[in-house]
Chain A
Amino acid sequence: DAGVIQSPRHEVTEMGQEVTLRCKPISGHNSLFWYRQTMMRGLELLIYFNNNVPIDDSGMPEDRFSAKMPNASFSTLKIQPSEPRDSAVYFCASSLGQGTDTQYFGPGTRLTVL
């Protein structure tokens, strides 16, 4: 298996633009997680899905952020409009179940909002 795949790996955009980050989980995994990592706040869980259904989005910072999982093999995290404070590394992870299973992380997308 190729592992969790994220695209793009790097994204530089200007404030106010829409940003879409993409993730393909490991085949057969039922849970998908979106994280954000910054030096100041460390690793933060934004949202997670189980069987394509959003279970907990309490970590989504504000309405500018939205996430979808239209099928078991694809998810998007969208920021509209983007702001400089959104600059961070965004990770996607997947696991076999939502309970106590190990999460497998993608390589991340480094987002810079100018």
Chain B
Amino acid sequence: KQEVTQIPAALSVPEGENLVLNCSFTDSAIYNLQWFRQDPGKGLTSLLLIQSSQREQTSGRLNASLDKSSGRSTLYIAASQPGDSATYLCAVRDSNYQLIWGAGTKLIIKP
């Protein structure tokens, strides 16, 4: 059974720092992996989707990597801003096309 883990559960860093969020999964047989952002009291917004054949995806200050063999993905945020404060969730699409979700990392960027 696929399990997705995100560590740490919470992270607080000063504005301007580069940071990395981690996501690990137990079964390497995945179709893709997505990173989402959730702001308090709101829905989830898709940030990046990495297909199983890809190693990374970039969007602006965000870069997501995928290493299927080791069951890991990272979300790199460059030059963090207070507006980046949110909960970040990763989800893998398993062999049954189901999205399996991590519990999320709550990120706080201090001005």
Chain A residues within CB distance 8 Å of chain B: 4, 42-43, 45, 56, 91, 93, 98-100, 102-108, 110
Contact = CB atoms under 8 A, between A and B. Distances in A.
Shortest beta-carbon contacts, A-B, top 8: A105-B43, A105-B44, A43-B101, A102-B46, A42-B103, A107-B43, A100-B31, A108-B43
B43 A99 contact: no
A39 B95 CA distance: 27
Nearest to A91: B43
Nearest to A9: B41
A4 B42 CA distance: 12
Contacts of A42: 101-104
B99 interface: yes
Given A91-B44, A102-B46, A45 B98 contact: yes
Nearest to B32: A100
**Among the interface residues A91, A100, A106, A107, which one has the most CB atoms of the partner chain B within 10 A?**
A100
5 contacts: A43-B89, A45-B98, A106-B43, A107-B42, A108-B42
B45 interface: yes
A100 B46 CA distance: 13
Given A103-B46, A106-B43, A98 B97 contact: yes
Nearest to B100: A45
A93 to B, nearest CB: 8
A45 B51 CA distance: 21
B102 to A, nearest CB: 8
Interface in B80-100: 89, 93, 97-99
